[in-house]
Every structure is written in C-alpha cells, then in structure tokens.
Amino acid sequence: MSEKKRITPAAAALTVVCLLVIGALIAFDLFLSGRECKEQTVAMDTVVTVTVNGRKSKNTAEKICQLVSTLEKENFSRYISGSDVYKTNSSKGSSVEVGSSTVDCINAAIKVSEASHGAFDITAGGIVSLWGIGTDSERVPSQAEIDLALASVNYKAIAVSGSSVSLSGGSVIDLGAIGKGAACDEIRKVLEEAGAQRCVAAVGGSVLLYGDGEFSVGIRDPFGKADDCIGSLKLNACCVSTSGSYERFFRQDGKKYHHIFDARTGYPAESGLASVTVVADSGVYSDALSTACFILGYENSLDLLKEFHAQAVFVTDNGEIKITDGLAGNFERKN
Ligand code: ADP
Ligand code: MG
C-alpha cells in the first residue's frame, strides 16, 4: 500500500497566499485596463478634451494633448513661425520639406477643393485675414479689397510632390477648416500604438470616436447656449465634425458676418444653414466636408457627401433638421 501524501499546514497556507496574489493581480489588471482618464488642453485655438480607457490611459491622454500642441506648432499653424504652413506661406514659390501629417492634410484639402468646385479652398488665407472675424480688427471690407484678396485664392497654386510642398501666386494656406480633423487622424495612430481600448477625443468641433461599441454624440443647438443640444447621434468608431455660423461672427447694421467664407466670392457663406455635422471615417474628411457642406448648402452637398462616403445632419437657418439616409436611424431628436 502506497503511503498517503499529507499536505502540511504551511503548504496549504502558501497555496492560499499564492491564489490570493494571483487573484489580486488579475483584479488589478482588469482595473487598469478599464480605467478611464480625462485630460484637457488648449491648442489649435480651441479646447481639446480627451477621454481614454485602457492600460496607461493617463499617459496616453497626456500624450494626445501634447501631440495636438505639437501638430499646431510644427505643422498646421499659419501664425507660428517655423511650422510647415508658415514656412510654405513665406517660401515665395520655392518648395518646402514638410511633415507627413501636413502632406496628408493638404492632399485631402485639395481633393475637397476640387470636389466642391473651389467653394472650399485652403488658400483662402487672404480672405480670412481681410475680414479678421474673431480678432480685434474684424470688419466688412470693401469690394475692391475682397477682389484683391480673391485673386490669390487658388488651390491649384499648391503643388505636392512626396514630402515637398510649393505654393505660387501669393496664395496663403489656412488650415483652419481641416487641421482639427487632421489632428483626430493623428490621435488615432497614438491610440493604436498604445493599445488603448476606447477614446473620445474632441479637438474643438472635430471629434474622434475610437474603439468598440456605441458612442453617443450630442449635436449642439445652433440657436441655443453652448451646452444646448438639438439631439444626439448613436455612432460606432468614426470621426464627427461640426461647422456652424454661431462659432465666430460679428454683427453690423443688423447683418451677421461669420467665419466660413465662400472661397469663390470672398463673402461669408449664405446657404440657408446654421450648422452641418458630418460623419466620416477620417478626421480630415469630416472636418473639410463640414465646412464645404456649410458653404454649399443642403441640396448641393448631397453629391459631395456621397463622393466621400460621408453622412450629415444639417440644421437650416429656420431650425429645420435634415439628415442623410445613412444616418436617419442614428439620430435622436431632443424634445
Ligand atoms: P471651426 O474652425 O469653427 O471648427 P470650420 O472647420 O468650419 O470651423 O473652419 C472654419 C475656418 O476655416 C475659418 O476660421 C477659416 O480659418 C477657414 N475657412 C473659412 N472659409 C474657408 C473656405 N471656404 N475654405 C477653406 N477654409 C476656410
Ligand atoms: Mg471644418
């Protein structure tokens, strides 16, 4: 008969301790992977709010805030000396080496310029400066001034070859209508690298929804206060951008002058819309298209949206809400 092995009290105690330690480690791991962290900063002339879930969520959220500031300083700002856009605007036609995020952004902008027949045009910098909306020098310029500034608006003056960009004809690049969306695309890369589970990153009116499952995004009431919503969209991972005439404007003689210009006329767009929210796979397109659709108006935007496989919610000047077919079931109106 074989001898029975006895478990000593010490061995039993050790087993219990080991199981407790393993349990604690699993619980800690689950805790870390589900942990949510929120960070906020001001960059690109707007508020950036990032909420990340997953391991190292604090570190990732901080990295993202830093990234948006860097993109502003090194790539997209036309006002910060040394940025890609600043260098291109000052290059007097010679070619400039720029970063890959600048190249991606400019190439996407050119596509939207072509598709919108020049209503959207990132070389409208001269028009943006002339009106000075949101600055101390905002004013209604004379027709002669507008004509002069319009002469330099021409996206065809931009030539991109690999990582070189050149700009001719005195044009001035302004990425105000696309840079925040481009930042969302760069943020997605950081999240992928960090193995983040879920993230909502809002760079002003451009929002990246990242990760599995459903998100709910409120659409601001263009006639209400900053936190009033007309409704919300239920969406899976994507990018959402809103352009509206309520963001930056001034009034003169009872007329409202806002910051989204029809690049073909040099005047603030009057297309019967108060806001447009565009849903697309990428940030560059959601941002550029929301501006382009705002300029073109509801009817003229439908083909443009189709071309870029994007969807939109339009709010007209009289408060009517119009939704493209692909989003109709996702929108919930607030009563
Ligand atoms: P916001 O900057 O308020 O999020 P938009 O994305 O619609 O709104 O971009 C508006 C900005 O785009 C303006 O402040 C200006 O810098 C730039 N812009 C204005 N009109 C045009 C246009 N027709 N084409 C390209 N950019 C424009
Ligand atoms: Mg835009």
Q: DSSP assignment, residue 23? A: H
Determine contact, residues 54/198, Cβ cutoff 8 Å: yes
| Nearest CA among 156, 109, 105, 117 for reference residue 304 | 117
Q: Which residues contact 213 (CB under 8 A, 6 or more apart)?
A: 198, 236
User: 334 C-alpha vs ligand 1 centroid, how far in Å?
Assistant: 28
Domain boundaries, the chain: 36-84+96-333
Neighbours of ion ligand 2 (CB under 5 A): 177, 243, 287, 290-291
**Tens digit of each residue's pLDDT (9 = 90 or more) over 76-134:** 999 999 999 999 999 999 999 999 999 999 999 999 999 999 999 999 999 999 999 99
Mean pLDDT over 139-162 rounds to 97
Task: Report the alpha-carbon distance of residue 29 to residue 23 in Å, rounded.
Answer: 10
pLDDT of residue 1: 45
User: 313 C-alpha vs ligand 1 centroid, how far in Å?
Assistant: 18
Q: What residue's CA is closest to ligand 1, atom 27?
A: 177
pLDDT at 34 over 60: no
pLDDT band at 333 (very low <50, low <70, confident <90, very high): very high
Task: Report the alpha-carbon distance of residue 248 to residue 312 in Å, rounded.
Answer: 21
* pTM for this predicted structure: 0.91
Average pLDDT, rounded, for the chain: 93
Q: Is the CB of 291 within 6 Å of ligand 1?
A: yes
Q: Which residues contact 142 (CB under 8 A, 6 or more apart)?
A: none
Fold of 36-84+96-333: T-fold (3.10.520)
Task: Report the alpha-carbon distance of residue 328 to residue 312 in Å, rounded.
Answer: 9
